[in-house]
Amino acid sequence: MALIGILGGMGPLATVDFMDRVVRLTSTAGAACDQQHLPLLIANLPHIPDRSKAMLEAGEDPLPAMLDGIDMLNRNGVELIAIPCNSAHYWFDAIRGHSKAPILHIAETCVAAVPHGTRRVAVLATGGTLHSELYQKMLSARGMEPVVPDDATQQRIDACIVAVKAGEFGESALQLAAALADLKARGAQAAVMGCTEIPLAARELSAPPMTLVDSTLELARATVSYALARGWNTRQ
């Protein structure tokens, strides 16, 4: 039995959303009973220090706690790891170098899903991820122009993320809607939701003003594809 490891808790509701996506995508792919689903081992470790604060304000380094989680998953024999937190991918090379099991890269899956022909793509992410330029570099490398929020818009995105983490979805949606209006006015044709809290706010919007590409969903798609291609939904 091949297990998929998930390093989660960053944040916990985003991990729930990721797991929900994996299960529903597996159903859509044909699973009609429990036994046709994928075995998962989810280490939901919310005590990992804040990733964005570590990048922006020299806050406590989250890497040791993340590596502890990666060790736990590997000790249990997982054969693939997914990390449904974009900011954590700032430390991707160190995490990948530490792990026996291969790790999918959330931003690679997300950027690959931007609709063909899109030119100007807004980056919705934590201040830390934005500062790391992870998404900006990947979009540019694929010939797209990243639209980076100005300070006032980024404050709205930060407030949206904090509100989701506190379970305040109405507030999160208000902040996100205002940020998207700003970014549309600046010519963005689509946006990557490069923080796994943002899709939970976006779900509250009745009509987003542009195409929103969901990093949680795209990581889940890549995870399910990887596993189904290897028959991990069949008991072995």
What residues act catalytically?
85, 195
Chain-centre distance for alpha carbon 50: 15
Residues numbered 76-105 forming contacts with a second copy, rule: CB under 8 A: 76
186 binds a second copy (CB under 8 A): no
Q: Which stretch binds a second copy (CB under 8 A): 13-21, 152-160, 182-190, 223-231?
A: 13-21
| Tokens found for residue 172 | 């999160």
- Compute the least distance from the CB of residue 139 to a second copy, in Å: 27
Least distance between a second copy and beta carbon 94 (Å) = 20
Give whichever of 16 and 67 is closer to a second copy, judged by the CB atom. 16
- Edge to edge, the sheet with strand 211-214 lists 145-147, 120-124, 190-193, 211-214
CB atoms within 10 A of CB 141: 9
Q: Pairing relation of β-strands 40-44 and 120-124? A: unpaired
Does 44 engage in binding with a second copy (CB under 8 A)? yes
At its nearest, how many Å lie between a second copy and the CB of residue 2?
10
Question: CA dist 142 to 30, 55, 61, 89, 146, Å?
Answer: 33, 25, 31, 19, 11
* 9 binds a second copy, rule: CB under 8 A: yes
Which residue from 169, 224, 232 is spatially nearest to 35, judged by alpha carbons?
232
- Regarding 64 and contact with a second copy (CB under 8 A), the answer is no
Q: Report the interface residues with a second copy, using CB under 8 A.
A: 1, 9-13, 15-16, 19-20, 23-24, 26-28, 31-50, 72, 75-76, 162, 165-167, 235
